[in-house]
Structure 1
Amino acid sequence: MGNTLAPFIFALVMVGIVLELVRRKIFREKYAALWLIIGASALILAGFPDLLAGVSKLVGVQVASNLLFALCIVLLLGVCLHLSWELSVVEDENRTLAEEVAILRTSVERLEAEFRGSSQFTALAGQQAPVQREESDSHRSD
């Protein structure tokens, strides 16, 4: 019982942390499911240590820890593959968003140029009277 207490507590803490991260909306549910499955598997293996030995004999692995390491390697490869897929999706979305921002920026700059052109034309048409007033005001102060 003493040999299974530490792994059981570790697995329980891991499941608790994952649930708390999901509750605080830090961790998304689709990623939490994988970690909850891992935590539940660790709880089962910690609670029934002979289960791993029985499965390793059934599969044909001589040492139970080798089966555990092999399963962990397969799991980590799966996580890496999934994260690579997610990264590819995010890169595609990022590129699309950057293209849309560039198009919008060009449109805004074109509209600003048109607005400046029309406001400069309006300002030039009505600019002579205020300039003359300013000059006459400056002559009065001299």
Structure 2
Amino acid sequence: MTGYPFALGLCAIAFLAIAYLLRARRLREKYAAIWLVVLAAILVLGAFPTVLTRLAEAVGVETPSNLLFATSIVVLLLVCIQLSTEVSQLEEETRTLAEEIALLARRLDVVEGHQLPADVHGDEPR
């Protein structure tokens, strides 16, 4: 028995997991789309294993499994880069929001009379 039916079974389980996460709103559509494309590629390779062999020959890779591993590494690298950019944007937004909240809290303290406003140059309050 080959590993192809096993790969197809894992794809079916992964598809159900992605569908569940989407339905539970724990996974956004744009991330689900990435994984569904990966699953579709694995399904094609599992259903038609000669496709990988032909691709390996066309690219000049000796062993089809090496092409599969190299492609997997590139896909995971791209996902990591995309998630890193998302995290960077979220960190910037969080910092900006924290600064805005601090400024609003300071303004509220001044309005409520808890503190007198200080001059910009550090002089005594008026």
Q: What range is the shorter-chain TM-score in?
A: 0.7 to 0.9
Structure 1 residue 114: Cα displacement: 5.5
Provide Cα deviations, 1:50-103, integer angstroms capped at 9, x if missing partner: 111111011110000000000011011101110111011101101110111001
The separation in 2 between residues aligned to 1:5 and 1:13, in whole angstroms, is 12
Report matched runs for 1:26-45 at 5 Å: 26-45=26-45
Residue of structure 2 equivalent to 1:10: 10
Gaps of 5+ in 1: 116-142
Letter in 1 for 2:112: E
Aligned residues: 115
Letter in 1 for 2:34: L
Partner of 1:30, secondary structure, is helix
Residue of structure 2 equivalent to 1:133: none
Letter in 1 for 2:108: V
* Runs of 4 or more consecutive aligned structure 1 residues displaced over 4 Å after TM superposition: none
Report matched runs for 1:1-142 at 5 Å: 2-113=2-113
Higher helix share: 1
Percent identical across equivalent pairs?
A: 41
The separation in 1 between residues aligned to 2:40 and 2:13, in whole angstroms, is 11
Letter in 1 for 2:95: R
The separation in 2 between residues aligned to 1:53 and 1:114, in whole angstroms, is 74
Using the size of structure 1 for normalisation, the TM-score is 0.76
Whose Rg is larger?
1
The separation in 2 between residues aligned to 1:107 and 1:4, in whole angstroms, is 65
The separation in 1 between residues aligned to 2:114 and 2:7, in whole angstroms, is 69
Of 61-70 and 38-47, more deviation after overlay is shown by: 38-47
Using the size of structure 2 for normalisation, the TM-score is 0.85
Mapped contact 1:15–1:40 kept (Cα < 8 A): no
Gaps of 5+ in 2: 116-126
